[in-house]
Chains A and B, each alone.
Chain A
Amino acid sequence: NAGVMQNPRHLVRRRGQEARLRCSPMKGHSHVYWYRQLPEEGLKFMVYLQKENIIDESGMPKERFSAEFPKEGPSILRIQQVVRGDSAAYFCASSPPGDSLMGYTFGSGTRLTVV
């Protein structure tokens, strides 16, 4: 039973390029969450999705960032025209429907470096 799969593990982009981060939730999990973690800081909520629906995007920057979770395939976090400040670790987590007693299962993260 594979856990939450994120790829790539490391991503280097030049300023102005696009970054695409992928997340496949655990089998049986229909809820996906994206978090950003800056060095020495906590996990900051970005967006919560269910299949084909964005449930809560209150933590997403208004520009350049978007997320989707299509009916088929992984969830995608897309960052357009990246800037140095976007450099961070991006973690995806998944959970089953309903209140989980374990909260989330996290993926290993994608470490984005903007040069």
Chain B
Amino acid sequence: GQNIDQPTEMTATEGAIVQINCTYQTSGFNGLFWYQQHAGEAPTFLSYNVLDGLEEKGRFSSFLSRSKGYSYLLLKELQMKDSASYLCAVRPSTGGGNKLTFGTGTQLKVEL
């Protein structure tokens, strides 16, 4: 089966750093994705990890440990516009197209 866990909600202060964790248990693994979704809008791609380690992209970084079934998304220099839901998704296997299994998302609230 597929199981992806994320915290439901987080609150952080503008200008600070926040780390959103994701743990997964899937029948296979062929990549982990993070998406951002503002209320009422479509999810948009943030990052992709398939090998262990840290991927950095501007204010956003994502880390993966395949042996631990663990990833985190790190957001630096938080801005009010970063208030959104952050979705962790796993692509379970090769040959299955790009079918992704999503966690329920972490609602991040950035405060002044």
Contacts and interface: CB of A to CB of B under 8 A. Distances in A.
A100 interface: yes
A47 B28 CA distance: 19
Interface string A40-84: 011111001010000110000000000000000000000000000
Contacts of B104: 41-42
8 contacts: A45-B99, A56-B99, A91-B42, A99-B30, A103-B31, A103-B33, A105-B45, A107-B42
B48 A99 contact: no
B98 A103 contact: yes
A54 B10 CA distance: 38
Nearest to B94: A99
A22 interface: no
B58 interface: no
Contacts of A99: 30-31, 91, 94, 98
Interface string B11-50: 0000000000000000000110101000001111100100
Interface residues of B, number: 24
Q: Taking each of B99, B103, B104, which has the highest tally of chain A beta carbons within 10 Å of its own beta carbon?
A: B99
The secondary-structure label for the interface of chain A is strand
Contacts, number: 64
Q: For chain B, what secondary structure do more than half of its interface residues adopt (helix, strand, loop), or is it mixed? A: loop
Most buried by A among B98, B99, B102: B98
Interface pairs A-B: 9 shortest CB-CB: A42-B104, A106-B42, A95-B98, A43-B102, A103-B33, A42-B102, A108-B42, A102-B45, A106-B43
A35 B105 CA distance: 14
Give the most central of A42, A48, A55, A95: most B CB within 10 Å.
Answer: A42
Contacts of B103: 42
B99 A48 contact: yes
Contacts of A50: 97
Contacts of A103: 31, 33, 35, 45, 48, 89, 91, 98, 100
Nearest to A41: B104
Nearest to B95: A99
